[in-house]
Amino acid sequence: MREKADKYTEFVSRGFGKDLAKRLGLPQPVILRRYSPKAPLLEGPVLVLGQGAGADGVAKVLLDWHQDVRRHATPKEKLGAIVVVLDELEHPEQLSATMLTVGAALRDLNKNARVVTISRPAATSDAPAVAAARNGIDGIVRSLAKELRAGATANGILLANGLAANAASAISALRFFLSGRSAFVDGQFLTASSAGSQDQPDWEKPLKGSIAVVTGAARGIGAAIARTLARDGATVIAVDVPAAGDHLAAVANEIRGTALQLDITNPDAGQRILDHAVQRYGRLDIVVHNAGITRDKLLANMDNAKWDSVIAVNIASQLRMNETFLASPDFATNPRIISVASTSGIAGNRGQTNYAASKAGVMGMVRSTAPLLAERGGTVNAVAPGFIETDMTAKIPFATREVARRLNSLQQGGRPIDVAEAIAFFAQPAAAGVTANVLRVCGQNLVGQ
């Protein structure tokens, strides 16, 4: 699939176009640094701020990754990232020195740099000062993400249940946020709920030996997900409706997987997927619920067919399939479920009450399913895309499309690969302690798609 081009971003990223945009005060998005196998994790040193064992542990991990680590800022030295460890924070007044040090270092960030905080979530059991301090980091990260330029992003990791800052699950989230895999993730938080796998990860082929199924895999985001999981080592079963059979077969052949033509709203869809996986490969490890449809109308003009079809495909089918998977011994060893939600399910979108209901429903399903999967060492998470350059968004009228592209902190649309990278992260063994998350892949925007 040829990804949709953003000609404006290409024009203003270099030479005359860059100078013209600057003179006219126009948006100046840059071409984002995306993941490439064997490419460096970062471009430039990492400044690690914070005191105590947590900061020391994170610095050691980064050194083990062969990163150039600084514990104190050196003026005018270009940085690839700033990692701020605030796991011992107990009062808002403690934020000042560290955050002003961050502020002084921001001018030295390279293009596509990263700022990542590591802290603890506020809880109702916390003393008021502790809760205020911890919740303050939320406001800092989301505001800073809107201030950064040149493709730089700011995101945060929350250490639940007393986790150490260098717990395996937190470190896997840190690597994701530092890497090009998170190019279109900005102003977001991931919660690490348990320590996770202590095995040494294979960062280049983290899914080697895994068996995955991706629904809606014939085109667009689904095809990108299938390709990305295969790139990371998984064997992929690509699922889509019979009408998409030719495209589905092409994707499956390209990634050396198998194609399964199936309407996921059929009552036996989950069992058919399991049977296919077990007969071919002996088990199923990863389920990606990507298939979805839109049938947009203002609620005043909505009819049963439009409402019911969206609910049937986007959420009811997932619930039914998950029941089948959870009941099967062939989906019982550290299983992963990742669902594609949408920012429409978070912020709402005009003319999409049915779609927003289904995608908000996906998020509720994920949070409720997490304890059920935890019993077998599994995780369930959701990815909520914003404006992604697909065939669907290419049909939006030009002016509307341009506005939607620019209304985020990165001032551009995302690509299907950005959604796929987030899903591949959640599928990794190293992310075993990361569950019940809804991660927006939207460049920090809440405009529904």
Asked if 138 and 147 count as a contact pair (C-beta separation under 8 A), the reply is no
CA distance 332 to 321: 15
List, in sequence order, every residue forming a beta bridge with 83; answer none if it has no partner. Answer: 48, 116
HSE of 149, CA atoms in CB hemisphere, 13 A: 5
Q: In what order do the strands lie in the sheet with 69-70?
A: 69-70, 46-49, 79-85, 109-119, 153-159, 189-192
pTM: 0.94
CA distance 286 to 168: 20
Domains of the chain: 32-192 (3.40.50.720), 211-441 (3.40.50.720)
What would the two tokens of residue 207 be?
Answer: 């899914």
Among 379, 383, 357, which Cα is nearest to 427's? 379
Q: Give the E-state strand segments of 194-332 in sequence order.
A: 211-215, 235-240, 258-261, 286-289
Query: Tens-of-pLDDT digits for all 449 residues of the chain?
Result: 445 567 778 787 777 777 777 787 777 789 999 999 989 999 999 999 998 999 999 999 999 999 999 999 888 899 999 999 999 999 999 999 999 999 999 999 999 999 999 999 999 999 999 999 999 999 999 999 999 999 999 999 999 999 999 999 999 999 999 999 999 999 999 999 987 777 778 999 999 999 999 999 999 999 999 999 999 999 999 999 999 999 999 999 999 999 999 999 999 999 999 999 999 999 999 999 999 999 999 999 999 999 999 999 999 999 999 999 999 999 999 999 999 999 999 999 899 999 999 999 999 999 999 999 998 999 999 999 999 998 877 777 877 787 888 889 999 999 999 999 999 999 999 999 999 999 999 999 854 43
CB crowding 67-100: b at 16 or more within 10 Å, else e:
bebbeebeeeeebbbbbbbbbebeeeeebeebbe
Backbone angles phi and psi of 283, in degrees to 5 = -175, 180
Residues with a known catalytic role: 355
CA distance 420 to 427: 11
Asked if 165 and 55 count as a contact pair (C-beta separation under 8 A), the reply is yes
